[in-house]
Amino acid sequence: MNEFALAWQSFPAGLLLSLFAATLSYLSCLQAMSMAKRSDRIAHPGPRQSHKIATVTGGGLGLIFSIIVTSVSLQFLLPLPGFWWQHMLPGILLLAIIGWRDDKTSVSSLLRLSVQLAVSLWLLSFFSFQFSLRDIGVFLSSILAMIWVMNLYNFMDGSNGMAGFQGIFAGMVLAALFYTGGHNAMALLSLIVAATCAGFLPLNFPQARVFMGDVASVPLGFIFASLAVYGMSVGILSLPVSILIMSVFVMDATLTLLARVFRGERWYTAHAQHVYQRLIAQGWSHRRVLVVYQAVNVILVLPAIVLAAMYSQYAVVIAGFTFFLLGACWHFANRRLGTLAKVELK
């Protein structure tokens, strides 16, 4: 690798690249917001919504555009792995296209699921699997996990700044882990994702002028799931660390889903029963809810990730203890809040 490429792995270069990505994201999201207005992509208040006024949605298209353009620019300086170009990028584009359409006119669940399955299969085809029971189990589990992360990221995108700040947190953590593991290109790519989420935030927090929409929330879930899969394949990430990165979203969405199943509800229908939605329904501001969720990330999840990465032999125990605490918080919140939103949408 030449000296110029090495220079672009330094902190100042990473900072400049991040500023470029964030600025482009902000400007592109402004343009996407204007496009969404003209095409009548409006999210109206409803039983599933945590907002009280009609708001333009689909602004996240600019975020995705910024990720793609910045990655192309990065390619001229520090080549990205074929995994990004051949397996991640096609999936991002396809999910964004379906999401942009879904933000205007609801796309059938079957079509959405079929596309999510297809991009997951295509991404995992990058890796070699043997026809053993263990590898088949890993393959199927990976597909289910990827589809779930895509959907839960979409489910949790219902409060001002929630998806954006989680994207910053996950992107920066992944960047640090890839960098310490010597995978500088993927570290810069993760940093770009975090920066584009930061560029979107001024339009969505503290007051939402535009929502991210399916056009960006589902692709972001795919991006983080894909980066985790890649990190585990090259030995940079362990499974416990990978789950910890998204654990705040994972625990709220997963435990809420399981609770609905056990209560005999139609778990596959839209709802407003996540803890953050119940808090808002109780009168909490979007800002206060966001502060609580990100405080959990910084105070509990981040130290757990650091310890699990440093002491890999104890990673399962550390992750298990963290999940126990998160689960206890979720249970306590549900006991205090009750089931505030039982309305289900067909």
Question: Which pLDDT tens digit goes with each residue over 72-126?
Answer: 988 887 788 999 999 999 999 999 999 999 988 888 989 999 999 999 999 998 8
- 209 and 260 both lie in a single domain: no
Mean pLDDT across 259-277: 82
Examine the fold and report which residue of 220, 237, 254 is the final residue of a domain before the chain moves on.
237
* pLDDT above 50 (res 14): yes
Q: Return the DSSP state at 312.
A: G
Give the pLDDT band of residue 344 (cuts 50, 70, 90).
very low
Give the pLDDT band of residue 346 (cuts 50, 70, 90).
very low
Q: What is the pLDDT of residues 152-180, one digit of tens each?
A: 999 888 889 999 999 999 999 999 999 99
- 114 and 151 both lie in a single domain: yes
Q: What is the pLDDT of residues 221-242, one digit of tens each?
A: 999 999 999 999 999 999 999 9
Examine the fold and report which residue of 211, 237, 263 is the final residue of a domain before the chain moves on.
237
The residue whose two tokens read 């997963």 is: 254
Number of domains present in the structure of the chain: 2
The whole-angstrom separation of Cα 269 and Cα 209 is: 27
- For position 110, what pLDDT does the model report? 92
Mean pLDDT across 297-312: 96
- For position 345, what pLDDT does the model report? 33
- 42 and 188 both lie in a single domain: yes
- For position 342, what pLDDT does the model report? 42
The whole-angstrom separation of Cα 169 and Cα 164 is: 9
- 49 and 187 both lie in a single domain: yes
DSSP lists the bridge partners of residue 210 as 56
Most trustworthy range by pLDDT among 206-210, 262-266, 313-317, 339-343: 313-317
- 123 and 270 both lie in a single domain: no
Dihedral angle, C-alpha 113, 174, 50, 160, nearest 10 °: -140
230 lies in which domain range? 3-237
- 141 and 267 both lie in a single domain: no
Phi-psi region of 42 (alpha: psi -120 to 50; beta: other; left: phi over 0): beta
Lowest mean pLDDT among 23-32, 249-258, 261-270: 261-270
Phi-psi region of 283 (alpha: psi -120 to 50; beta: other; left: phi over 0): left
- Average per-residue pLDDT for the chain: 88
Mean pLDDT across 303-310: 97
- 92 and 233 both lie in a single domain: yes
Examine the fold and report which residue of 218, 237, 256 is the final residue of a domain before the chain moves on.
237
- For position 221, what pLDDT does the model report? 97
Terminal Cα-to-Cα distance of the chain (whole angstroms)? 56
- 127 and 222 both lie in a single domain: yes
Give the pLDDT band of residue 263 (cuts 50, 70, 90).
confident
- 154 and 260 both lie in a single domain: no
